[in-house]
């Protein structure tokens, strides 16, 4: 093992007075305990036929003056490649259970139009379908994660979609695929069997869905070189009964994963979720409190899964997560377009740290959503494109992909507001195949600088360098007029003191350190 450590301290800077308080904390790492792998698929993303995510996001008008491959927007593709996007979920979401895949293949001019009844009641021309989505995934060099239609579809429809995608031989669906211009199969392995079947996917009971799942999964066949990783529609936030029924009624060898959805709602109320950019510290605190509940959500569902599946053969797949606010004023309420602030970057960092800590059970996750929807990585406006604060967090955290989780101990101070308190710092650490160690920390306190003192033991190292994503206010965000207001810069707040590493985390800052 090389004597090299890379520390990524994630902390996103908010406004703070010159006389702000300071906390000192210690941290220790158990390098010998690094045994569990953090799946790269925890860093996955989600692109639904919703608002301007697909149309006007990934798939643009032929006359738009940007670099394109066909109608695929290449500046978006190149930005996603930079963060090593491991998988992309499509076509939904709620849209998946009204989508009939055969409407989206063949000559574009002959494809029937459809009404997107879930999201805005807009008419889509089906010009973006199976072939177009899988071309995007090939350009991204990522795994496709296809969600099948259980709510309004049939077992036969899903079975034939799998055959169309994966069979390399002579059959009706393989012949149809070749007629549509694709000779060899794509061999798609990640396959969702419905979505939110407790709600928009059919308003089913868990018992009814468990039986439906077994029917659909039975006929979604494995073809040579394409063994399916079937993901069952799972629970919403704290609905542990759904998980209980699924784990009890569906054998572990019939599903690769069980999904879970959890959104951070600033106000905690779906009717008025709160603004993406205009909020005070009270609402900020409440938002972070709701974000950090993800740890408890995972613990509760994991405990039930452990009871039925102690060998952890079934992965927990958090394929929808992120902050959900009210839409931006003046935009279509069905398009779920929201801005992305420093607060959202903290949510991303804290949530990814939580996923890393639960990597023994959490095998995949998908931020909602990739472009122009909810906690997006990218926003577009005609020829203009910007990267959000959340994007930069994913760019820093990509070092954890497929690395070994290092157990750590951190004595976090409290972030207090009135009589309420939250841990100010959360963290995760990993060791990659080259023996490099990465640590990510998030400081959510808006007023306290926090100094981390870490003894690196017998590790021999000589210097430290890093980057920081910061801004002056937690409501700061990037605009098309000022697209780099929140971006990465050189970090100079870390130093070597003997064999001690001293790092000063600004209030609400995300820092990446590399120690050589």
Active site residues: 196, 320
The encoded tokens of residue 371 equal: 């472009």
**Dihedral (CA of 407, 360, 362, 3) sign:** positive
The encoded tokens of residue 363 equal: 């095998």
CB atoms within 10 A of CB 309: 18
The answer to whether the beta carbons of residues 36 and 405 sit under 8 Å apart is yes
Measured between alpha carbons, how far is 184 from 160 in angstroms, rounded to an integer? 16
The answer to whether the beta carbons of residues 90 and 147 sit under 8 Å apart is yes
- Between the alpha carbon of residue 214 and those of residues 100, 306, 420, 490, the distances in Å are 21, 21, 46, 52
Per the document, the length of the chain is 516
The answer to whether the beta carbons of residues 512 and 468 sit under 8 Å apart is yes
415 DSSP β-pair partners: 422
The encoded tokens of residue 361 equal: 């059970």
Q: Reduced to 3 DSSP states, what percent helix, strand and coil does the chain have, rounded to the nearest 5?
A: 25, 30, 45
Measured between alpha carbons, how far is 130 from 105 in angstroms, rounded to an integer? 7
Measured between alpha carbons, how far is 407 from 59 in angstroms, rounded to an integer? 42
DSSP letters spanning 106-159? S-GGGSPPEEETTTTTEEE---S-HHHHHHHHHHHT-EEEEEE--SS--HHHHH
Measured between alpha carbons, how far is 346 from 339 in angstroms, rounded to an integer? 14
The answer to whether the beta carbons of residues 356 and 398 sit under 8 Å apart is no
Closest CA to 324 of 108, 33, 46, 96: 46
Alpha-carbon radius of gyration of the chain? 23
């Amino acid at each position: 093992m090389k004597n090299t450590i890379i520390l990524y301290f994630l902390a996103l800077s908010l406004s703070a007075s010159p006389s702000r308080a300071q906390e000192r904390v210690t941290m220790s790492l158990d390098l010998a305990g690094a045994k569990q792998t953090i799946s790269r698929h925890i860093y996955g993303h989600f692109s639904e036929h919703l608002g301007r995510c697909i149309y006007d996001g990934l798939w643009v008008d032929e006359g738009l003056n940007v670099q394109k491959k066909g109608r695929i927007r290449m500046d978006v593709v190149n930005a996603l490649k930079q963060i090593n996007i491991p998988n992309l979920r499509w076509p939904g979401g709620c849209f998946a259970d009204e989508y009939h895949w055969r409407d989206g293949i063949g000559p574009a001019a002959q494809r029937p139009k459809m009404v997107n009844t879930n999201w805005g009641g807009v008419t889509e021309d089906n010009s973006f379908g199976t072939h177009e989505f899988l071309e995007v995934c090939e350009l991204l060099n990522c795994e496709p994660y296809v969600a099948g239609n259980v709510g309004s579809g049939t077992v036969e429809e899903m079975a034939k979609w799998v055959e169309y995608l994966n069979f390399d031989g002579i059959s009706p669906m393989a012949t149809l695929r070749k007629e549509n211009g694709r000779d060899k199969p794509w061999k798609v392995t990640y396959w969702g069997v419905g979505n939110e079947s407790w709600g928009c996917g059919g308003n089913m009971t868990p018992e009814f869905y468990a039986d439906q799942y077994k029917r659909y999964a039975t006929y979604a066949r494995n073809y040579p070189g394409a063994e399916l990783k079937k993901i069952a529609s799972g629970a919403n936030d704290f609905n542990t009964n759904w998980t209980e029924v699924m784990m009890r009624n569906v054998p572990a060898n019939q599903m690769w994963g069980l999904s879970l959805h959890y959104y951070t709602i600033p106000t905690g109320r779906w009717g008025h979720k709160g603004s993406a950019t205009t909020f005070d510290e009270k609402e900020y605190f409440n938002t972070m409190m709701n974000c950090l509940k993800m740890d408890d959500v995972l613990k509760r569902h994991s405990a039930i899964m452990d009871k039925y599946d102690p060998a952890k053969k079934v992965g927990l797949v958090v394929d929808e997560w992120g902050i959900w606010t009210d839409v931006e004023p003046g935009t279509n309420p069905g398009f779920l377009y929201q801005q992305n602030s420093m607060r959202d970057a903290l949510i991303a960092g804290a949530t990814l740290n939580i996923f890393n800590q639960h990597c023994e059970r959490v095998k995949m996750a998908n931020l909602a959503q990739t472009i122009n929807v909810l906690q997006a990585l990218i926003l577009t406006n005609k020829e203009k494109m910007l990267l959000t604060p959340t994007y930069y967090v994913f760019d820093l955290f990509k070092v954890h992909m497929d690395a070994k989780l290092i157990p750590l101990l951190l004595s976090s101070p409290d972030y207090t507001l009135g009589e309420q308190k939250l841990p100010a710092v959360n963290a995760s650490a990993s060791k990659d195949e080259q023996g490099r160690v990465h640590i990510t920390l998030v400081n959510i306190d808006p007023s306290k600088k926090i100094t981390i003192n870490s003894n690196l033991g017998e590790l021999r190292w000589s210097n430290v360098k890093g980057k920081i994503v910061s801004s002056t206010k937690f409501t700061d965000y990037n605009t098309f007029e000022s697209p780099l207001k929140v971006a990465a810069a050189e970090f100079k707040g870390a130093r070597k003191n003997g064999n001690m590493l001293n790092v000063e985390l600004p209030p609400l800052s995300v820092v990446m350190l590399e120690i050589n």
